[in-house]
Chain A
Amino acid sequence: MTLVVVVVLLAVFVMVVGGAVLVRARRYPELEPPDIQAAAEPLVADREVLPPPVVTPELAAAVEAEAPPLPARPRMRDRLGKARGLITGYVGSVLSRSGIDDASWDDIEEALIRADVGVATTGTLIDSLRQRVKSDSLDTPEQLLSALRDQLKSDLAVEDRRLHLADTGTNVWLFVGVNGVGKTTTIGKLGLRQAAEGNRVVMAAGDTFRAAAAEQLQVWAERVGADLVRGAEGGDPGAVVFDAVQRAAARGADLVLADTAGRLHTKVNLMEELRKVHRVAQRDPGVVSEVLLVIDATTGQNGLAQAREFAEAVGVTGVVLTKLDGTAKGGIVLAIQAELGIPVKLVGVGEGPEDLIDFDPDEFVDALFAA
């Protein structure tokens, strides 16, 4: 009985207090930008803006000692090779039968679910396949698997998978995602790639929350020869990104790679903070040409919830699927694309600077199903 009262009171309480909070949250946007604008000049002076490092022999040696050896540019097929075993098993099982029977469908369903494709998406896929089998009168396992591959490739196909750069303004690529997915490491790798393509990069240590996050990015900046803008730990992430944009503009750099703190999508205040960072990043001359959601390939169905919330908060333009060098298949990206229309643009396949590949759906699917 007490519980009922508690529940009702909680509800009442939440209405009363919660209403205030929600109103405040909506009011919140109005408060911040003037602060940033007004403080722009002094803030730059306060921030620790590192010049490009002078690479002394000692520094080079130290960085080298830290960084693992750089392998040749990896191909998706090679990097996913070790993880093929699972699907190969199911494929083998399907192929071992003379025709297409219930067991074949069970194997396919299991393979897809095990790949974290999810029950709903798997169901849709299998329904389409069943239609196809009927309409095209398929009867061999090879045909079935071929149809499955085609369906997956077609589901993942998008017209434009490029990473965009606007012609005018200072480009900002904002990296968002939950904790531990590989945002900072991805920025490091992208920094190297951009440098190789002759683009000048400024990294923004927008993770002002996690212990030694800026230090982590600093190591990457040194590795790849990029400028780094960082702020005080516990400071305002928006201000760091803003400063980075200003610095990039001042130095004629092509691109700002903005790191943000990992945050669970269920935390309303943190998502609000992210919205703010996004807004600040767009202040003249900043142009946020990409908002990249970094998703860990080992993530299960929660990946879809993550994508939904981040998309709603800041508008995600692409997914970076990381840690695909492990056993996980990252099947959740199918649901993300199907439901939200967000394509995978990049794939992370290791912790080294070269371990970043452009996502190719054909290669992705073929590598999974190669028998």
Chain B
Amino acid sequence: MSQSIPSPGWNETETNALIDAHLGQEGPMLPILHALQAAFGYISEPAMRLVAQRLNVTRAEVYGVASFYHDFRLAPQGRHQMKICRAEACQSMGGETQARAFLAALGLEWGGTTPDGRLTVEPVYCLGLCACAPSAMLDGEPHARMDLEGLKALAAEAV
């Protein structure tokens, strides 16, 4: 794939600017990948190529890092992202049963996206709200003491 072919989640000028902003840091790879995902929603293949070129590492290395971490997405996702905690403290408060009921109501599996591309539901292992379980996070905003109705209300908010 040539770099000139435009691809969604990819803009060479902006990608270069984001890389430039982090080049002065020691170990800039993760900060750059976070910045790219924040800007484009996911980390596309041409973006990874450019990162490799600018950091003078192999494409395999960039792909290896991007694919290792649960946070980084290599394909477009829903416009909104809901993370539901599946860890022990939330389980002790019925979080797992409730999460399954929520997924069933949306007709999704973990990691699935609604057909209209509105919402992706992902598991997360602890949001540090373990004394106010069960918890969830919608687009980076945490919510605690969630019941099934609360999850559904959050999902309805995400338009």
Do A and B pair up? The answer is no
Query: What is A's interface to B at a CB cutoff of 8 Å?
Result: none
Query: What is B's interface to A at a CB cutoff of 8 Å?
Result: none
